[in-house]
Structure formats: C-alpha cells, structure tokens
Amino acid sequence: MPEELARRLGTTDAVVVGLSAMIGAGVFAAFAPAAAAAGEWLLVSLALAAVVAYCNATSSARLAALYPESGGTYVYGRRRLGPLWGYLAGWGFTVGKTASCAAMALTFGAYVLPGRERPAAVAAVAVLTALNLFGVRRSAGAARVIVVFVLAVLAGVVVAGLVGDDVVRWFSYTPDPALISTHPWGVLQAAGLLFFAFAGYARIATLGEEVRDPARTIPRAVGIALAVTLVVYLLVALAALRTLKPELLARSTAPLTDLVREAGFGWMAPVVTVGAAVAALGALLALLLGVSRTVLAMARERDLPGALAAVDPVRQVPRRAELAVGAAVIVLLLVADLRGAIGFSSFGVLVYYAVANACALTLGREEGAPPRVVPVLGLVLCLVLAATLPLASVLAGVAVFAVGWVIYAVRRGRTMSS
C-alpha cells in the first residue's frame, strides 16, 4: 500500500493554486503571439479557448472527484482506458510541463535580471523547490499572496485602459473590417496558444490526494478558478485591443507594459513589470507542484523509477519527486534553448486533455458523468487545436510522444520477461 499524502487543502487553497498557474502562465505573455495569429479576431480565439477549457475542466473535475489521487489524467487514463493511454498522458504532461517550468523561470529571470536570465531562473527554481519541500500548505500560502498581488496589478492595467474612454463605446468594441484576419487557421492557432493560459486548473486535479472532501472541493475549485480567469482575460484583452490595436499588440514583447504607457500611465510600467515577474513566479510554483505529483503517481505504477514514489513521513510530501523535477528543470535551464517551450507545452497539454475527455466518455450516470456533448466537444477541439499549432511545435510534440511510447514498450517488455 503506497504512502498517502495529507489532505490539507480546502476550496480556497485549491482555487488559489489554479489561479496562480493560469494567470501567471498566460496573461502577461500569450496575447501578443495570439494577436499575431488572429488579428482582430483575438476575442473569438479567446472565446474558443475558453470553451475548450470549460469542457476539459468539467471532464477533469468529474474524474478527479471519482479518483482523488495524485497524478490527474495519468490516473484516469490507466483506470478508464488502459495503462498505455495513462502512461502517454503522464509522459506528455511531465515532459511538456517540465519545459513550461523552465520557460516560466526564464520569464521571471528576464524581468528581474535582464541579460542574466539563466542564473536568476536557476535561483528561482531552487528556492521554490525548497519551499515545496516544507509542505503544500506553505506553497498554497505563497500562491495566495502572489495571486492577490497579480490581480491587483491587472486591475490597474484594466482601469488604465478604461480611463478617458466612454465605457459603453469601450464594451461595444467592433473590429475594423480592413484589419480582420481572413485566415481561419490563424484563429484556431491563436486559440491553441491562448489555451495554454487556461491550463492551470490541471494543478488542482493533480493535487487531488491533498484536497479535503475532493468530490465536492475539486469541481467547485476548478469552476471558480476558470470563471475568474476568463473574466480577467476578457477584460485585459478588451483593454489591450482598445489601447494598442491588434498591430501593436502583435509586435509587443511586453504588451501590458506597452498598454499602460500608451494609455498615458507610464508611471505604472515598473509596477506591471514587477507584476509580470511575480506572476511567472506563481506559475512556476504551481507547475513544480503539479509535475512532481504526476511523477509520484507514475513512480507508484513503476512507469518511472519506484524510488520517486517515496513520501516524506514528517512533511508528507513527495520529496524525491520534487527534487527530481527541480533538478530536471535546472538542467534544461543550463543546456537548452527553450524559446519553443510554450508551443510544445500547448501540444502536450492538449493531448493530455484529449485523453481526459476520452476518459470522461466512459463514465456512467452513477459515476457523475457530464453531459455527453461536453467530453465529445472537448476531445474534438483538443485534437483540432493541437494540429493547428506552429509546425515545429507539432513535430516536436509527435517526436516526444513517440519516444515515450518506445520507452513504455521497452519497459513493458522487460517486466513481462522477468
């Protein structure tokens, strides 16, 4: 019987962990590349990404309530579809989100120490890994502080976009027909990129073993976190479109900083910069938590080395898994060019949720199955958006999943022969 983690997180804690991952991962970075792909149709892409996120969140929440264990879709895939599908979901999540950890760490480093991003990123990973070793409650407490600060900064950004403009006209924003992107592929690609910004609710599911009353807490926490994030993204997107227009937004490397400057609030730029750095730190904290719990679950099933399944008897945290994830991220920071990490991570996460929706399709009414249209729509849209990502991201994602399948086949062959 594997050692279990302590159930210490309530609804508020779970919501905060999800918010810190979603808002930190996307709102300061995702809108610029999405605007380059979708142009004036950015809001349509945002709505499409939100629909996919809702379907995935609903399917994941029902499954997490039924299987309140660490590991998320890795666990659901094994239980509902078989070991291979669970393994591939866990493999994609672990590899993709390890790259996301490195990307978030580099984002933090770029804001706080330009020109010395990697040393700052390594220090951030080391400190947050050490924080996680002291227990998930302290990690959730740190995430709470980060979320409150980031939301306050974003509120200031939105207000800056509103001041001096007629509120009714601002909310009745209509695209300029001369600037509308005529390529539907760009709208889908932008939706895939923006979905990356919504994917933080997976952290709630992967912490299922540490949540009190998971059947009630997880669905509520996922719904609340997703709703808050959607409102925040919608307001920020409207402000950015009204102030910067799609052309400048698409070219910007720091869109929210440019937004406050363009709106005549240049004095807010340093505050927004700090907010971006703190948001990246919050996303990194939540990502490290989520990846380590998936590693724990895979180690319990011997899909990863069994030594990583150990739970610290005092702190009741998966110490070895957390140290292994932290070390892997630091190695990536030292040796890899991670500019394509966001695209690959989006591919891996979309495949991960395609498996989750497929699992939800197997649920019966007595198991709390969602309306059938939800997992069907989620599965189809996940596969469509994954296929429309930049070609380099798609090819890299397919290659990594192929490597994972080979490793699985080799390990399974050895197990059967022994």
**What predicted TM-score, i.e. pTM, was given to this entire model?**
0.77
Mean pLDDT calculated for residue range 104-114:
79
Determine the residue type at 59: S
Axis-axis angle for helices 319-335, 269-300 (nearest 10): 120
pLDDT, tens digit, 9 for 90 and up, residues 18-44: 777 677 656 777 788 888 888 888 899
**Helix (H/G/I), strand (E/B), else coil: 39:** strand
Distance CA 327, CA 330 (A): 5
**Yes or no: is domain 11-417 CATH 3.40.47.10?**
no
Report the pLDDT value the prediction gives residue 5, as an integer from 0 to 100.
Answer: 53
| Number of Cβ atoms within 10 Å of the Cβ of 166 | 9
- What mean pLDDT comes out for the span 172-188? 59
pLDDT of residue 334: 83
Instruction: Kindly report, residue by residue over 191-229, the tens digit of the pLDDT.
Output: 988 887 787 666 666 555 566 776 677 777 877 888 888
Residue 396 CB partners (closer than 8 Å, separation 6+): 340, 343, 344, 347
Question: DSSP letters along 313-371, please?
Answer: TTT-S-HHHHHHHHHHHHHHHHH---TTHHHHHHHHHHHHHHHHHHHHTT--GGGTPPP
Confidence of residue 377 (pLDDT cuts 50, 70, 90): very high
pLDDT digits (tens, 9 = 90+) for 121-138: 899 999 888 887 776 555
Q: Compute the distance between CA of residue 104 and CA of residue 282 in angstroms, rounded to an integer.
A: 9
Report, as an integer, the average pLDDT of 99-120: 81
Say how far apart CA 247 and CA 255 lie, in whole Å. 11
